[in-house]
Structure 1
Amino acid sequence: MGRFWTLLSNLHSIAGPVVMLLYPLYASIIAIESPGKEDDEQWLAYWILYSLLTLTEMLFQSVLEWIPIWYTVKLLLMAWLVLPQFRGAAFIYERFVREQMIRYGFLRGHHHASPDGKGKKKFVQFITPKKGEHEAY
């Protein structure tokens, strides 16, 4: 029984990084390279929720340490967010996060990018240096 328990706990430790980081990283790269927008939204929503959960965990770490099943619950939640059959990340973002961002004014004046991609073009223009700006370096 001791070896089985050791194997199970090692698999449990490896499952977290695989489910929460490795697979989402791979799927995000595939989504960027695909022509469709739906998978992009799923993975952007996932990374937003992953960041929010990580920040929440950092804030409440001392409390969460006292909950013995927290890591298992977190692993199951993240698996639901990640698995493409459920599209959990997109669901949670659309139903809860987006509504709160609108309610508190974080999305005021921001709309989804139009199908012609003008929203993305404006963002790219914002983050890329204009001619002559980087010559001072």
Structure 2
Amino acid sequence: MSFQQNLQSKLQGHLSQIDGRFANVKLLDQFETNTKLPRSYAVIGFVGFYLLLTFLNIGGIGQLLSNIAGFVIPGYLSLKALNTATKDDDEDLLIYWVVFAVLNIVEFWSKTILYWVPFYWLIKTGFLLYLSLPQFGGAKFIYYSFLKPVTDKHLFHESKPASKVN
């Protein structure tokens, strides 16, 4: 099998996965019926257009799109988690919201990063997707690697005078 055939085969496999994952979306059913194209094309087109608008940041829309990526996906996953019996996904999402809050506070107080980091909103959008999507586990990594050691040391320690009260 040639390189081109191998690449085409892998691409078809990925497109089939996208088609399967979005099989129950009614809007994509209409797209498929009207255009005679696979639903994966619409999904890839939407994601590409979304990232292009974030990259171009016309009229400050990059910030809005970045924040939508940071709220919509985790918000949807949070609503789903509230309706499950297991608590594992609840912990993951609580960790995400803590990391998201810290990121927004740091961003608010250091607006200079907007001027010094090129394509900041695109980078932030990618980072928020890394944090929020369960297959990456980015929020847990950031929390357990950076935030938890700091909070354990500075927020949740017992001070000497308080320990003597008992």
TM over 0.5: yes
For residues 61 and 88 of structure 1, the distance between their equivalents in structure 2, rounded to whole angstroms, comes to: 24
Q: How many aligned residue pairs are there?
A: 102
Q: Aligned residue for 2:117? A: 67
Give structure 1 stretches of 5+ with no counterpart: 1-6, 110-137
What is the correspondence of 1:96-107 to structure 2 with a 5 Å cutoff? 96-104=146-154, 106-107=155-156
Q: Is the 8 A contact 2:74 2:93 kept in 1?
A: yes
Return closer, same or farther for 1:22/1:66 CA change in 2, 3 Å cut-off. Answer: same
Say whether residues 1:9 and 2:59 are aligned partners. no
TM-score, reference length from structure 1: 0.64
For residues 53 and 114 of structure 2, the distance between their equivalents in structure 1, rounded to whole angstroms, comes to: 21
For residues 91 and 67 of structure 1, the distance between their equivalents in structure 2, rounded to whole angstroms, comes to: 23
Higher radius of gyration, 1 or 2: 2
1:76-110 per-residue CA deviation (whole Å, 9 max, x = no partner) reads: 11111111111111222122211111111x1236x
TM-score, reference length from structure 2: 0.54
Give structure 2 stretches of 5+ with no counterpart: 1-48, 56-61, 159-166
Q: Aligned residue for 1:81? A: 131
Taking only the aligned residue pairs, the percentage that are identical comes to: 28
Q: Is the 8 A contact 1:45 1:93 kept in 2?
A: yes
Q: Aligned residue for 2:96? A: 46
